[in-house]
Amino acid sequence: MNTLRIANGRVIDPSQNLDQITDVWIRGEHLIGHGPQPNLHPAQTIDARGKIVCPGLIDMHVHLREPGREEDETIATGTASAIAGGVTSVACMPNTEPALDTQAAAEFVYLQAERAGNANVFPIGAITKGRQGVELAEIGGLVEGGAVAFTDDGSPVVSAEIMRRALEYTRMFDKACLSHAEDLELTKGGVMNEGVESMRLGLRGMPAAAEEVMIHRDIELAGITGGRLHILHVSTARGVELIRRGKERGIRVTGEACPHHFTLTDQCLRTFDSNYQMSPPLRTQRDIEPIIEGLKDGTLDVIATDHAPHAPE
Ligand SMILES: [Zn+2]
């Protein structure tokens, strides 16, 4: 079997506590070593100078838009772009049309992913039927179909009672409920972060509190149910702090940050470029720093892309 040498890349592998410029050796589908290997004779060498060599990345917050909006994205196109970026596994959100709220829908995602033959795809099931927030989806059936977690992402679960039942029910399967934390009354009509910039531009804002009240609510609900809660796309300083306090109390809460929320601010909207409009919105420099701090100290557990971010309704 032929031996492949990936030469002189920056090899990063947290599982091996490895971060150094070195060679990686591969035979067939197996990694057979790193560093100088005088006894190995590569059939092929890839020059990885200036590049990062690491295990395939996992993006746990991706919108593949299939079924229903194939003109925007399909499972095949989304996973092709994942692979191009070094991401070999993605978890896809259920805000498709129809929503991923049945066992058959979850199975469909696996089938399409297999047909595409790109990245591994793990469907996330809807918490409520049609993501309408009224009635719990077939949680058990979705687990059968391979759903790895549950969320109504794109929308919050407005009813605290339903969110409570979702946390109780998913707990039986040891699956997490993923919270798109947004109080829709507070964000109604908003197109950007509420603050100095929105005032300057004369645009209606979405206050940080709209996110924080829901994070707070869901952490309390995770506390009384013992369910696993994950807060999606945390964008505010106080949001990070709420998760930190929740963890200190022993509540099973994890958090996620998206690159745009810790690299860009609402000042980007000064050009009126609508590419900078998203939900939750880009916030301020005073939010960016605590998010980075949260990533460093482990309050925020993952970086996910939220590809592509939700447009504000
Ligand atoms: Zn969301």
Q: pTM (2 decimals)?
A: 0.92
What is the DSSP secondary structure assignment for residue 271, as one 8-state letter? G
Cα 50 to ligand 1 centroid, rounded to whole Å: 34
Question: Using one digit for the tens of pLDDT, what is the confidence trace for 155-168?
Answer: 999 999 999 999 99
174 CA → ligand 1 middle, Å: 22
- 306 catalytic per annotation: yes
Token pair recorded at residue 163? 């969110």
Residue 200 Cα to ligand 1 midpoint, Å, equals: 27
107 CA distance to ligand 1 middle (Å): 23
Distance CA 102, CA 63 (A): 18
Residue 284 contacts residue 265 (beta carbons within 8 Å): yes
Whole-number Å distance between alpha carbons of 189 and 208: 15
Give the pairing type, strands 3-13 and 44-47: parallel
Q: Predicted confidence band at 308 (pLDDT cuts at 50, 70, 90)?
A: low
Read off the pLDDT of residues 16-48 as tens digits, 9 standing for 90 and up. Answer: 899 999 999 999 989 998 998 888 899 999 999
Distance CA 143, CA 153 (A): 18
pLDDT tens-place string over residues 193-251: 999 999 999 999 999 999 999 999 999 999 999 999 999 999 999 999 999 999 999 99
Give the integer Cα–Cα distance in Å for 72 and 63. Answer: 10
Residue 307: is its pLDDT beyond 80? Answer: no
CA angle 104, 109, 111 (to 5 degrees): 90
Q: Which member of 23, 59, 152, 306 is catalytic?
A: 306
Tokens at residue 258, please? 């998206």
What string of DSSP letters covers 155-224? Answer: S----HHHHHHHHHHHHTTT-EEEE----HHHHTT--EESSHHHHHHT--EE-HHHHHHHHHHHHHHHHH
Q: Which two tokens stand for residue 222?
A: 């995770």
Structure tokens at 35: 């560093």
pLDDT of 309 over the 90 cut: no
In the reported structure, the alpha carbon of residue 156 is separated from the centroid of ligand 1 by a whole-number distance in angstroms of 8
**Per-residue pLDDT at 312 exceeds 70:** no
